[in-house]
Structure 1
């Protein structure tokens, strides 16, 4: 029987007012944040740190829980999927990205600039939450 996938992602700040957005191969051309599936025996925080290391080469610090969302058969995702999305805020001291094959494009932008990007709906709510915390 299929079960929901537990996934993590993070809106990562560079410490000088910018956040990292990425366009991946999995969201039909929409922009979002790097992340992925939680592995057996891994905490959510460890999973988000690992995913960022694998996908971008970034080492995350100050990882803190932001929100949980459900993506149930989202037409934005490249295939039928039921995901529980655990979102985090985090910081990276470096901004040099070493992308893996999942990252098509990336940009360091302000939160205001991020809101103008063609974001997937799940990242849009995360950016809005960050703007509320920032304001």
Structure 2
């Protein structure tokens, strides 16, 4: 029996108050945030720290929960999947990216410019939440 995959991702602010966006091989050319699957026995925060280190070489600080979303058979994803996506906000002191094989392109952008990128739907929601929090 197939079950939903639990995944984590983070919208990360760098030292110049820009956020990291990445284009991955898994979202059909759309941009998003780094992340991936939670491993057995791993906390959500440990998973997001590990995934960001593996995918882009960043060490996170100020990791905080942002929201939970679902992606059920999203046509934007490269294969049929049911994912429970736990999103975080975080910061880093680094801007140098060490991409793994999943990262095709990346950019550090002001949060206000992020919606101008062709974002996947779940990242668009996360960026909107961050913008709303910034205005509050």
- TM-score, L = length of structure 2: 0.98
Task: Verify: 1:22 aligned to 2:22, yes or no.
Answer: yes
Residues 15 and 94 in structure 2, CA contact (< 8 A), matched pair in contact too: no
Aligned pairs, number:
135
Show structure 1 runs of 4+ deviating over 6 A.
none
Distance 1:111 1:57 in 2: 21
2:105 match: secondary structure: strand
Deviation at 1:112, TM superposition (A): 1.2
Structure 2, unmatched stretches of 5+, are none
Query: Hey, what does 1:119 align to over in structure 2?
Result: 119
Using structure 1 for the length normalisation, give the TM-score: 0.99
Deviation string 1:1-49 (CA, Å, 9 cap, x unpaired) is 0000000000000143200000000000000000000000000000000
The 3-state SS of whatever aligns with 1:79 is: coil
Runs (5+) with no aligned partner, structure 1: none
Deviation of residue 120 (structure 1)? 0.1
User: 1 CA distance for matches of 2:62 and 2:115?
Assistant: 23
Counterpart of 1:74 in structure 2 is: 74
